A and B are shown apart, each in its own frame.
Chain A
Amino acid sequence: MTAVRTTLTALAFALLASTALAQSAKTTLTIDLPNEPATLDPHLQWNTDSYSVYRNIFDNLLTRDVSGEIVGQIATEWTYLDDTTIEFKIRDDVSFQDGTKLTAEDVAYSILRIIDPALKSPQLSQFNQIDTAVATDATTVKMTTKSPYPALLAQLVKLSIVPKAYMEKVGAQEFNVKPIGSGPYALGEWQKGVQTELKANDGYWRAKPPFETVVFRAVPDVSTRIADLKTGKADLIRDLSPDQTDSIKETENTKVLSVATERVGYMYINAQAGPTTDVRVRQAIAYAIDRSALIEALLQGYGAQVNIIGAPPVFGYTDEVAGYDYDPDKARELIKEAGAEGAKLEFLTSPSYSRALVEAIQQMLNDVGFDVSISASDQATFLKRRQGNPENAGSLAFGAWSCACQDADGIIFPLFRSGSQWAKYANPDYDALVDSARSTLDKDQRMADYKKAYEILREDVPGLGLYQAFAVYGANAKLNWEPTANESMFIMDMSWQQ
């Protein structure tokens, strides 16, 4: 009897001890994303749900530090030999997860692979200014661009390094299922449609990864992601709209994490077809929109006002260009002058954009005398119309733009440079400025060009900056993490509070 009791007591203690141990160290971090990664091959799909996962498996050539500065990751230093040639020094203490050493050959291979049209990479447009890359010795890579290309480093922040030997051995399809990188986490198991499990790479060269296991789950419905967070099934969830944050704040063991990003909410206004070809009509639209009301009421403060289509983390951003103040009387005046009372404006949108925001803007524009109708379609159809010819591209659309490169060249060049499929606007002076800014490495010159370009955009209003978007996450109260402006999700930056 005593023996039994002793055994039972011992067992109870053992159980207690093991639960106490489990509480003291968080071994598995669970993250709910809206979708599963499309690919784990970092040179193929570029979307948030894919790179949130695979960027933890790979190292990039360059990265951004906490303050947003570009710093080396696999590269230690780089020098421009001339305007189109740049030489990178590569770390010699990094190994891939299969034990092989990462060399300059792998870096050159990664660059050549992503710019090879045969790969059919959707990311090609981010790297197609690169002409070639060659490893000159074990730790040096020489890269040449087709012309002087100031956004090169900002783009290379997104270049993941893959192992040449392994890729050539197994082929692209096998690599996508069993990727090997040099990053802090290796793929454990990819349960298609369910979850992607990553295991810590204990020999990681920067530091020991904070969690043994990280599980990325695919949970499409936002209410379900919130329920998962509240019930402790998930520790971090992505893609919340501001009106859903209250219930997370009210729950005791969960919190909201947010950060101002490089993404900018903006209005597109068609300058080449319909009533909005008249610049006075476009200016009236700018005067009619109350941006601070949008930020306070609809974004619940998860947004910051901007005067231009850009945001502070973006190179080329300036606060010296004036914005349009909310002035409905002025708007009505301009509409009267242009004879555009009751003008019919078609407002294109898709489920990717907040319906409440679109309707609020519709209301503001109707209040000053326009007749705005909303045309909602799915994202593919929306893009087809928005990027198609001006006659069919509606009068207005809302958008949330990020090039993930923090450079005005990735924003206002594609949006408004004539000839771009997004531009429903043409102004040779503007074209000259953005062309000049993308072909010189002189930072002061570029800043000056962009300031002038933004001034032209202010006068012509082919688009209107509304707000700097915030990324909003729900997290367990014990998760320490500061989200970054480029919306990346590096596990290495996270830790668990005991």
Chain B
Amino acid sequence: MLRYVGERLLQAMIAIFGVLTIVFIVMHLSGDPTLLLVPQGASAEMIADLRRELGFDRPLWVQYVGYLNDLIHLDFGESVVQRVPAIDIVASRLPYTIQLAAGALTVAIGVGIPAGILMATRRGGWLDRVLTAVVVTGQSVPTFLSAILLIFVFAVTLGWLPASGIGGLSNLVMPSIALGALSMSTFARMTRISVADELSKDYVRAARARGLPMPKIIVRHVLRNASIPVISIAALEIGNLLAGAVIIETVFAWPGIGQLAIQSIQARDFLIVQVIVLLISFVYVITAVLADFIYAIVDPRIRLAR
């Protein structure tokens, strides 16, 4: 098991290194922030001077080696726009993204899994049809649209919830629903398929023959077997939530790292972008490894095979 984890982590390091290199090259090839920083009338010499002061006039590979060297020493550099260490800026935004991801995941799992179970057990019934409609809607309405619709209905028209920003739990409701909707649909569909699949197996028939009540069979036996594919989806969904957060955080003025990423890319604030990329790659890798762990706990067959 330990060796397996070690291998996975090594692979992850290589993947993260690759991602960083690609992001570094792509961002630097499309220009540096100097032009965005100066006032419109700045002369060419002034721009050249500032570019030299900021170090963007050096050959790309020199900047790259310098960047990697700093990284090895855990120096993530300073934002050229804000003149504050990049790691501090990202760290100050991270809690908001975690809050939002937790809220969205609660919506996704809390609604998606029960809905999936109901759909599987009431296959073909009216409840299945209604829930299918909800799931398809959650899946097909783009987040930027559902976000604006939610604001229009619940903030502007009804006045129940605040339109933007952070604060109490009420601020978290709309962003979580908008962000969680897609994942909710994925969970519901996956749960429906795997539960339905398990329900048709012999052990269920045997349990029923023994006279066990249906809810007990589902909770004790079916769900356990149906959970493997759902767990791997969950690991992927955390990555998707981070990606979806970019749009949701912008619409709801939610100060997380998604919004920060967009602003930093537009401003060519390279070092912040690099820290965010590093962080998100890390999360992806960690969740994938964690999912493997959880498989092993849930399913002894996987544990024993190693």
Assess the A39–B82 pair: CB atoms within 8 A: yes
Q: Could you say which of B32, B39, B89, B166 contacts A46, with CB atoms under 8 Å apart?
A: B39
Chain B proximity of A243: nearest CB distance (Å): 16
Q: Nearest chain-A residue to B55 (Cβ)?
A: A120
Chain B proximity of A46: nearest CB distance (Å): 6
- Knowing A192-B92, A194-B255, A383-B35 touch, does A414 contact B41 (C-beta < 8 A)? yes
- Residue-wise interface mask of B (32-50) relative to A, using a CB-CB cutoff of 8 A (1 in contact, 0 not): 1101111111111011011
Assess the A402–B164 pair: CB atoms within 8 A: no
Chain A proximity of B254: nearest CB distance (Å): 9
Whether a CB of chain A sits under 8 angstroms from the CB of B81 is: yes
Q: How many residues of A are counted as interface, with CB atoms below 8 angstroms from the partner's CB atoms?
A: 57
- State which residues 209-233 of A face B: CB under 8 Å: 217-221, 223-225, 227-228, 230-231, 233
- Residue-wise interface mask of B (148-172) relative to A, using a CB-CB cutoff of 8 A (1 in contact, 0 not): 1001100110010011111000000
Whether a CB of chain A sits under 8 angstroms from the CB of B64 is: no
Between A and B, how many residue pairs show CB distances below 8 Å? 149
- State which residues 383-425 of A face B: CB under 8 Å: 383-384, 387, 401-405, 410-411, 413-414, 419-421
Compute how far the CA of A404 lies from the CA of B38 in the bound complex, rounded to whole angstroms. 13
Compute how far the CA of A217 lies from the CA of B171 in the bound complex, rounded to whole angstroms. 15
Compute how far the CA of A120 lies from the CA of B38 in the bound complex, rounded to whole angstroms. 11
Q: Nearest chain-A residue to B88 (Cβ)?
A: A192
Chain A proximity of B265: nearest CB distance (Å): 8
Assess the A193–B259 pair: CB atoms within 8 A: yes
Q: Nearest chain-A residue to B148 (Cβ)?
A: A223
Assess the B31–A380 pair: CB atoms within 8 A: yes
Compute how far the CA of A172 lies from the CA of B78 in the bound complex, rounded to whole angstroms. 13
Assess the B83–A231 pair: CB atoms within 8 A: no
Q: Which residues of B contact A340 (CB under 8 A)?
A: none
Q: Which residues of A contact B163 (CB under 8 A)?
A: 224, 227-228, 231, 233
Whether a CB of chain A sits under 8 angstroms from the CB of B252 is: yes
Q: Nearest chain-A residue to B46 (Cβ)?
A: A125
Assess the A219–B255 pair: CB atoms within 8 A: no
Q: Could you say which of B37, B42, B50, B83 contacts A173, with CB atoms under 8 Å apart?
A: B83
Compute how far the CA of A39 lies from the CA of B79 in the bound complex, rounded to whole angstroms. 11
Q: Could you say which of B47, B54, B96, B253 contacts A220, with CB atoms under 8 Å apart?
A: B253
Assess the B162–A44 pair: CB atoms within 8 A: no
Please list the residues of chain A having a beta carbon within 8 angstroms of any beta carbon in chain B. Answer: 35, 38-39, 41, 44-46, 117-118, 120, 122-126, 128, 172-173, 176-177, 191-195, 217-221, 223-225, 227-228, 230-231, 233, 378-381, 383-384, 387, 401-405, 410-411, 413-414, 419-421
Please list the residues of chain B having a beta carbon within 8 angstroms of any beta carbon in chain A. Answer: 30-33, 35-44, 46-47, 49-50, 53-54, 81-84, 89, 92-93, 96, 148, 151-152, 155-156, 159, 162-166, 250-253, 255-256, 259-260, 262-263, 266-268
18 A–B contacts from the bound complex (CB under 8 Å): A35-B263, A45-B82, A176-B83, A193-B96, A219-B164, A220-B263, A221-B253, A223-B151, A227-B155, A227-B164, A228-B163, A230-B156, A233-B163, A380-B32, A380-B268, A405-B41, A414-B40, A421-B44
